[in-house]
Amino acid sequence: MAGHFSLRSIALAAALTGGALPASAAHKETFLTLLPSVPAMIYEPATPGPKAKVGLVTIHPYSGYITHASCANMSERGYVVMCSNTPYTNNQYGYPAVEKMFPTIKAAIERVKKVPGVEKVVLIGHSAAAQMMTYYQNIAQNGSAACKGPEKLLPCEDAMVRDLPKVDGIVLLDPHLGEAFATLTYIDPAIDDGAKPGSRIKALDLYDPANGYDPQKRTANYPEDFRRAFLAAQAGRNAKLIGEAQALLEKISQKAPGMFPDDMPFVVPGGTSARLWQPDTGLLKKTKKTYRLLKADGTNPTEILSSVRVSSGNAAEARGYGSVLQVSVKNFLGAHAVRTTPDYNQTEDDLTGVDWASSNSSTLPNVKGVTVPLLIEVMTGHYFLRPGEMILEAAGSADKEMIGIEGATHGFTPCAPCGPTPTHYGDTVKRTFDYMDSWLAKRF
């Protein structure tokens, strides 16, 4: 499998070899610049066979993916894989709308189609790329009307959503429900006054032992009354922030005195680190229905998928400067804001009360408009089991499937602390990409 390279070393190697990079005996790599200042890599099987008629496109909105696990793994299984960064790589909070990534996706699709023999293109969306890939295909299939409704906090930009080539399928790996939903679940209701973020409301502090948190074990078992109070306050603070951002946007549009003409800073103390289900592993623990689970022992039982993850979250970060979300008004409304409804809640097997359609960055309304074949793989060493199921339920595809990978982390590797031994869950990476291979081979 190919290693991780710095962009400087990749560029140097490409210059010395005419673009082709040394790789394993099973695949070759070609470095290129997909768009100005956007590096990318094409991975091809060393000896192309029938599967090389399928081109895969792997991109993440803000993480560098030119050496993503799917790149070498899927090319070594016979596919052509385009892996690219975007103009916002390593700049998670720098873009005002997910459609800013569409030119990169479009260029990647057009470039992979130029590889001799490629006939079909399938998008791979891992984690937050799920929102981006489903959004892209929704607009490619249904046009800009799908992202311009009056319910949107910030409608899409026409220039970004024109003439998008459709693809033939989508694979979502441990998919996220959207960047705006992520921000909603991080907003800390223990901070009431943004001007005094160090003053916290004790009754709403998810890291206070009185509320169910164990600082020694770094785990939590939140009682229902605290959970409901926390989520109600989180929704309330979220609504207040949206109102403040909308008021500023109106002033910007009216060229009010003291406003920049194009945008304004928008700073949210406690906007990145207060996710309730991270310390409490009893929340978002399992799916509602049964699905096949690919286990280390080679069996594939059909059962309710249950997370084996360990607790996470960072009390020091949540209570300090590291929790500050620093964006602009348009960035907040376009990529980080979603409304809630009165039934906002998080339970063992569900998420409710989110007005998904209010944000173009939401995966659910976008996947409804997608009708191409869809595969979802969820990792039981993480917490996206019910979210993956919600995406499956919402998808407009007639041909859709979800499976679980036992003990895999969000990055596909085995979760060493999740099992009785570090090697208990076996080669989760191989299981992840073997199944993707078999699914693709049956359809394309």
Q: How far apart are CA 75 and CA 29, in angstroms?
A: 9
Q: Of 94, 420, 86, which Cα lies nearest the Cα of 265?
A: 94
Beta strand pairing status for 20-21 and 325-328?
Answer: unpaired
- CB–CB of 57/41 below 8 Å? no
Distance CA 28, CA 308 (A): 36
pLDDT attached to residue 193: 76
> Are β-strands 80-84 and 54-59 bridged in parallel, bridged antiparallel, or unpaired?
parallel
Distance CA 36, CA 39 (A): 8
Three-state DSSP class for residue 211: helix
pTM above 0.75, yes or no: yes
Tokens 């928008």 label which residue? 266
Specify the pLDDT at position 5: 38
Distance of alpha carbon 363 from the chain centroid: 9
Residue numbers of the chain with a pLDDT score lower than 50: 1-22
Please give the pLDDT value at position 195.
Answer: 77
The domains located in the chain, with CATH, are 7-177+357-443 (3.40.50.1820), 182-283+312-355 (no CATH)
Q: What is the reported pLDDT for 248? A: 98
In this prediction, residue 25 carries a pLDDT of: 65
Query: Could you report the per-residue pLDDT of 177-209, keeping only the tens digit for each?
Result: 999 999 999 999 999 777 788 889 999 999 999
- Enumerate residues 6+ apart whose C-beta is below 8 A from 30: 14, 19, 20, 21, 41, 42, 44
The pLDDT tens digits for 301-349 are 999 999 999 999 999 999 999 999 999 999 999 999 999 999 999 999 9
